[in-house]
Amino acid sequence: MKKVVFATVLVFFFSYIHAQIKDPVSWKYEAVKKSGDTYELVITATVEKPWHIYSQNTGAGGPVPTNFSFKKSPLVDLTGKTQEVGKLQKTYDNNFKTNVLYYSGQVVFKQLVKVKGNVKTNVSGVVEYMVCDDQQCLPPTKKSFEIKL
């Protein structure tokens, strides 16, 4: 009987911990045609208050910066670096002992791509990011995405 009670308590405990896992960031992915063979990938991160997400340009020694890894494709070439559009904030973080760059609310990431030939294709990849609030940080998260061109 004790084993059954212990197992039941253990199941509820792990269910509670699993329920506590948060992801305060929602992602939206789209492609905007700029010219015949050029598209702009528009990746929007909406971050719940009071959380914030870190810039791609947050320096070493700090939190994990947002990073996009695009899967190589023989049909698509990336043009330039992924740009950030949003209200960039900079502050010294005592926890990391360094200056950090982050966004609250919403940030848009834009990447130009060129398609080789007149074909329908997709761009896929993974975004890795980390979010913190004034009291805690969540572990870095990786999410796969696919954008139709």
70-109 pLDDT, tens per residue?
999 999 999 999 999 999 999 999 888 999 999 999 999 9
Q: pLDDT, tens digit, for every residue of 17-50? A: 444 568 999 999 999 999 989 999 999 999 999 9
Whether the predicted pLDDT of 119 surpasses 50: yes
Q: Is the pLDDT of residue 14 over 80?
A: no
**d(C-alpha 55, C-alpha 121), whole Å:** 29
Angstrom distance (rounded) from CA 99 to CA 93: 6
Q: What average pLDDT score do residues 137-143 get? A: 97
CA atoms of 139 and 141, how far apart (whole Å)? 6
C-alpha 88/C-alpha 56 separation (Å) is: 11
**Does residue 125 have a pLDDT over 50?**
yes
Question: What would the two tokens of residue 125 be?
Answer: 């990849």
Report residue 118's pLDDT band, with 50, 70 and 90 as the boundaries. Answer: confident
Q: CA 109, 113, 116: angle at the middle one, nearest 5?
A: 165
pTM for the model: 0.83
State the DSSP H helix or E strand holding residue 64, giving kind and residue range, or none if neither: none
pLDDT in the model for residue 22: 87
Mean pLDDT (whole number) for 4-17: 40
Using the predicted structure, report yes or no on whether residue 142 has a pLDDT greater than 70. yes
**What's the pLDDT score for residue 20?**
57
Three-state SS sequence of the chain: CHHHHHHHHHHHHHHHHHHCCCCCEEEEEEEEECCCCEEEEEEEEEECCCCEEECCCCCCCCCCCCEEEECCECCEEEEEEEEEEECCEEEEECCCCEEEEEEECEEEEEEEEEECCCCCCEEEEEEEECEECCCCECCCEEEEEEEEC
